[in-house]
Chains A and B, each alone.
Chain A
Amino acid sequence: MALDGIIILDNTGRPIIQSGFRSSTTAYPLLHIDAVNNALQKADRSADVDPVIYVAPYNSANPSACCHVEVGDMRFLCPISGDVDPLFAFAFLQTFIDILREYLGTVSAATLKDNFDIVYQLFEETLDAGGHPLTTYSNALRDIVIPPSLLNKLLNVTGTNFNSTINSGFGAGAAAGPFSSPLPWRKTGVRYNNNEIYFDVVEELRAIVNKNGLVTFSNVRGRIEANTKLSGTPDCSLNFTNSQVISDCALHPCVRFQRWNRDKILSFVPPDGRFTLMDYTYSPNPLPSQSQVMLAKNNVALPFVIKANIELEDSGGSFDVLLTSRYSTHALENVVAEMHLGQGAGGIRCSVSRGSGGGGFINAGGSRNLETGGASNGASWSFDSRRMVLRWEIPIVSPSSSWSLHGSFSTANRVPRPSHVIRVRFDISSHTYSALKVDQLKVVNAKESYKPYKGVRGRSSGDVEWRW
């Protein structure tokens, strides 16, 4: 169970920074870099490269595998040798990326180069040369690797006293040494003048709709993201008015699992700052049931319907797509519908228009309309000739409104082979599918009592595959 290290490649496949690789030869990381670059070159789509690449042994060394993920304009590699859990590698990579994001704001090749010493220190503190993850809770990390923003702030404020503070190993504000806290995720001695705690309930709908307009699969996965700014060691307990709508929960380690299982109360001492408190699945039908019939009822109602009339003929086709919102109170935002038209497609002619309700706003010709506000927000279309994808964007689909896209395309081949799928993505603000509602949040602090400011927000998004 050990990870050999981390290599970060830029978008040309060249390494930016890599961890030590002390227990292996210098050729070892290079071997992995080559393996990944070769695999990427061979693949049509970079997304289709196996995420775990087998790396043949070289020079009688052990064979190994390379786990890799794409992050922005970079690719993070994690070579593993021996019988290691690739999920261990991916989980660690994700954690490391989250840490970088927290330290550097945006994670890109440029920011990494600008802060390479920080990245290096983070390598050292998060991953031991033998491949064991060390400290990955940012609460504890911030004590030993000073984030650049904090470092600069301290330099400006404290001036000369700064050295001794750092050298004694105590981070800013910490009353005791690092790792003195009994809870690995929370440091001791946190103090705020204004105590606040916020929760974002974020839900994502994924669904597949078949040719007949029936939902064959749908699933809403939600998570509660918390941002805590609370002094001392606060003990929070959070309960919901309708906890029966959620199931399959995955909890942050700070949550007392037994308490949740018994009373459906989230009882926890939170880390300081941002973290994901829990993940869950929304189950509209709370009765536990295994039968197929019940499962079908478990589908979540989709917020829109599509009527697609697509005719294929020799060397081309025409389409007429109508999207209608089913919601009467919430607007769908940033709606993007995409359809793959197949190899050799071109000659797209399209017009988009707004149907019922409102002024019948027409915006043809693929130009983007940046007008905002009002009900007549313009829709637009575009065609990505590299990916062969026709893209239809509607900034706001107001309640019960309908929108249409119709046009035609031609193909180089006689038989057009478009994908029989329209992929629709959208956001809905101030809304959750589950309508999960917080009943009460209690914060108890042993040393000093305070009344924190509390807030809860909802946000939804969706990714629906509509087949025709």
Chain B
Amino acid sequence: MSQQGQDAKFFQRGKIEEFRAELHAAEAKDKKFVKRKTVLKKIVANITMGTDMSPLFTDVVQCLGTPLLEIKKMVYLFLVSYGRSKPDQIHLVIPNFLQDCNDRNPLIRALAIRTMSYIPIPVVTDALSDNLRHALKDRDPYVRKTAAICVAKLYTADPRKAEKGGFVELLRDLMLDSNATVVANAVAALSEIGDRQDGVIFKLNLATANKLLAAIPESSEWGQIYILDSLLRYVPERHADAEMMAERIIVQLQHGNSAVILTTIKALLYLMNYMENRQLIDYICKKMGPPLVTLLSSGPEVQYVALRNILLIIQRRPTVLKNDVRVFFCKYNDPIYVKLAKLEIMYRLARAENAKEVLAELQEYASEVDLDFVRKAVRSIGRLAIKVEAAADDCIQALLSLIETKVTYVVQEAVIVIKDIFRRYPGKYEGIIPTLCENLDALDEPEAKASMVWILGQFANIIDNADELLDDLCYTFLEESTEVQLALLTAVVKLFVYKSKADKAKELVHKVLKWATEEADNPDLRDRGFMYWRMLAVNPTVAGEIVLSDKPAITTDSDRMDRGALDQLLLHTGTLGSIYHKNPETFIRHAAGKALKDSPALNAHSRAVLVPLARVQLPSAMPIVVPGPGPMEPQAVSSPVAPAPPLKNDSSPPASDQPVSVPANGVSSDQYPEDEEGDEDDEESSNRQTNNLDPYSNLDNAFGGYLADEPRPMAGGRHGDEDDLLF
């Protein structure tokens, strides 16, 4: 099929002069324009290779009159590449443009409009305006759909002109066009304009939204995506509206295109915030599972995007995929990014019922070759033990057998997680401490070493030779990393509290305190050293009570995202934001922020955690953007956010935007049984509500909590042995 094309020979660098001569020669005796075609092909090939062909501008433009579509296309291609850089010569082409805008062939009319819209030079945009207005009402749908997109381009070139010219209104009219593709493109253009921070806001009312839905079956998949995506611009005022709409789009979950599926899910998740009917919500959740699983039989790229999204979705709607943990079992040949994403989901889906299966898989992964993956797998075993109490015994057994393998990184990872398990189940597994002590020499990474030291200190009363072991570890005290030094310091203090009579402990604590206060460079270490020293000097008994006080229980709940942040992120399902688990306005400068909008139909739960869009004050260094005319809704208009890291602004959002800060657990947890799992979280949400004035503080917490791999204490958010000192 392919042997006909032999254009590879055109891929050789040619000289401008030669091409010019060839073009001139082609003007005479050019039967069927073959010569011109050949030269133009060479020129286009050179553009591809990055050679600057712009000096040929006047010569190439001459060919525009040639009555052959193929040549016209190539000349237009040339114009698109260099038109912008020739503001002084572009007027030469305007007559041709105008002529082509009125050609009887719709393809040529569309081509002319499209090319003009790519050249943001005033002369061209002036000429475009009138023709574009005609094109938007052209009898041919191909021209109309092309013109719709061109409006967005015109808007980019000159927003105010486009608004004055009434193009936005014309686009709105096109949403009612009889041709589905035209409708979809109008929606795409309006969305593009609406996503600009200075753009005209694009909102849908119920009637228009319904009209758009009617166009879905006949649209191309891209059109469907635009239309489905635009549903997020519709704010349901009544539960019934949201429910009706969800019922209409749910069939799209059967679409063959992965992007359509994910966009449908995004729209459904959004609409569910405004629903009341439990049965319908459950039904939708059930329906969302299979298509998500389907995405996993696609290529690894699609799988990756799907997995990252699934991770968000199951945190917000735990019933989705509840029974499908097997689908996420890793295969040996999966790319590492897929494996890591699956691992995280397996952990999230683990419950008492499936813990055995999950554990068996994790053990399998722990014997694999890839270092990073093995570590994550071992860590997941520990997290599983903490999350699912029923599985804790088996997990400990699994960890012990892993320690027996003597593979150093496995042992280290195991020690780290076992420390957390000790904290989660005090008094239950201390019997394995001797096994851990046998592997003391294998630990060379700070985190593992610090964990082991914590264990030695915390249980110095039941480890007979704790003093000897700690003494050994202290030989290299001054060379250790700060993490280990801090742990050692606390551990020897604990040892001393337990065994204040023993000479060895006395000697050791004295030695370490002296090092910490006199020889250490690190201020944290020094401060902590002084503090212990004084405490022990003033009142050893009280010091003992403080050092060995009850620690806050450890849970895995805090590494789940905060509900309000989730709601907001899920508006970006399938987009970059959901891949990075960050709101796009924090990493994309001109992105319009999205947030759930309040309406009478918004369910109380979502409202309680509503994250308002803050209007961030422009730092003076930022270019001043002229706000567009027309009504501006504070909630809908995003303001530019300075590049990451998100600035902690002082300006509080206007009063109307403030969330109704009702402590969530008080409101209605009883009427949302599905959320029961999700709501443990909300019990502690009261402390979160207080920082709602700064929307980012909320998010930072959420991501911090998510990104950190290890379980954290329930309150305070500080980790490990540090919180020995908190009280």
Residues of A within 8 A of B (CB): 1-2, 17-18, 20, 22-23, 45, 47-48, 50-52, 54, 57, 62-63, 65, 67-69, 80-88, 90-92, 94, 104-106, 110-111, 113-118, 120-121, 124, 128-130, 132-137, 144, 148-149, 151-152, 160, 163, 166-169, 177-179, 182-185, 204, 206, 208, 210-211, 216-217, 219, 221, 247-253, 257-258, 260-261, 276, 278-279, 281, 290-292, 295, 340, 342-343, 417, 419-421, 423, 465, 467
- The answer to whether B81 and A179 have CB atoms under 8 Å apart is no
CA distance A292 to B589 in the complex (A): 47
Taking CB atoms and an 8 Å cut-off, the chain B residues in 280-311 that contact chain A are: 290-291, 293-294, 297, 299-302, 304-306
Contacts of A120 in B (CB 8 A): 44, 48, 77
Contacts of B293 in A (CB 8 A): 248, 281
- The answer to whether B5 and A69 have CB atoms under 8 Å apart is no
7 residue pairs from A and B, CB less than 8 Å apart: A54-B580, A90-B299, A163-B32, A177-B140, A251-B256, A253-B219, A420-B364
Whether B73 sits at the interface, judged by CB under 8 Å, is: yes
* CB < 8 Å neighbour of B333 from A116, A168, A423: A423
- The answer to whether B302 and A23 have CB atoms under 8 Å apart is no
- The answer to whether B327 and A219 have CB atoms under 8 Å apart is yes
CA distance A228 to B259 in the complex (A): 26
- The answer to whether B572 and A132 have CB atoms under 8 Å apart is no
- The answer to whether A113 and B8 have CB atoms under 8 Å apart is yes
Contacts of B377 in A (CB 8 A): none
Contacts of B575 in A (CB 8 A): 83-86
A sample of 14 more A-B contacts (CB under 8 A), given A115-B2, A136-B222, A423-B332, is A1-B225, A45-B335, A88-B259, A104-B2, A114-B5, A116-B44, A132-B222, A163-B32, A163-B68, A206-B297, A211-B364, A250-B254, A251-B256, A279-B256
CA distance A104 to B5 in the complex (A): 9
Most buried by B among A136, A144, A167, A290: A167
Contacts of A279 in B (CB 8 A): 256, 294
* CB < 8 Å neighbour of B141 from A116, A124, A167, A179: A179
- The answer to whether B221 and A417 have CB atoms under 8 Å apart is no
Known: A48-B337, A169-B69, A261-B251. A1 touches B258 (CB 8 A): no
- The answer to whether A67 and B301 have CB atoms under 8 Å apart is yes
Most buried by B among A57, A217, A467: A217
- The answer to whether B219 and A88 have CB atoms under 8 Å apart is no
Q: Which residue of B lies closest to A418 (CB)?
A: B369
- Among B103-111, B672-680, B686-694, the one that faces the other chain is B103-111
10 closest Cβ pairs, A-B complex = A105-B1, A115-B5, A83-B584, A51-B301, A114-B5, A248-B290, A91-B259, A179-B142, A133-B222, A169-B107
Whether B218 sits at the interface, judged by CB under 8 Å, is: yes
Known: A52-B304, A137-B220, A167-B68. A295 touches B326 (CB 8 A): yes
- The answer to whether A217 and B326 have CB atoms under 8 Å apart is yes
Taking CB atoms and an 8 Å cut-off, the chain B residues in 196-252 that contact chain A are: 217-222, 224-226, 229, 251-252
- The answer to whether B305 and A86 have CB atoms under 8 Å apart is yes
User: Interface digits, B616-660 against A, CB 8 Å rule (1 contact, 0 not)?
Assistant: 000000000000000000000000000100000000000000000
CA distance A393 to B360 in the complex (A): 30
- The answer to whether B294 and A48 have CB atoms under 8 Å apart is no
- Among B184-192, B392-400, B476-484, B560-568, the one that faces the other chain is B184-192
Known: A62-B589, A69-B299, A69-B301. A182 touches B254 (CB 8 A): no
Contacts of A291 in B (CB 8 A): 323
Whether B163 sits at the interface, judged by CB under 8 Å, is: no
Whether B602 sits at the interface, judged by CB under 8 Å, is: no
Known: A82-B591, A86-B305. A183 touches B218 (CB 8 A): yes
- The answer to whether B80 and A419 have CB atoms under 8 Å apart is no
Whether B195 sits at the interface, judged by CB under 8 Å, is: yes
- The answer to whether A276 and B226 have CB atoms under 8 Å apart is no
Known: A208-B331, A342-B369. A86 touches B297 (CB 8 A): no
- The answer to whether B290 and A88 have CB atoms under 8 Å apart is no
Whether B131 sits at the interface, judged by CB under 8 Å, is: no
Most buried by A among B68, B108, B297, B327: B297
Whether B10 sits at the interface, judged by CB under 8 Å, is: yes
CA distance A421 to B261 in the complex (A): 33
Whether B67 sits at the interface, judged by CB under 8 Å, is: yes
CB distance from A10 to the nearest CB of B (A): 12
- Among B93-101, B149-157, B415-423, B489-497, the one that faces the other chain is B149-157
Whether B412 sits at the interface, judged by CB under 8 Å, is: no
Whether B354 sits at the interface, judged by CB under 8 Å, is: yes
- The answer to whether B68 and A258 have CB atoms under 8 Å apart is no
- The answer to whether B255 and A250 have CB atoms under 8 Å apart is yes
Contacts of A258 in B (CB 8 A): 251
Contacts of B191 in A (CB 8 A): 1
Most buried by A among B219, B256, B294, B360: B256
User: Interface digits, B129-153 against A, CB 8 Å rule (1 contact, 0 not)?
Assistant: 0000000000011100110010011
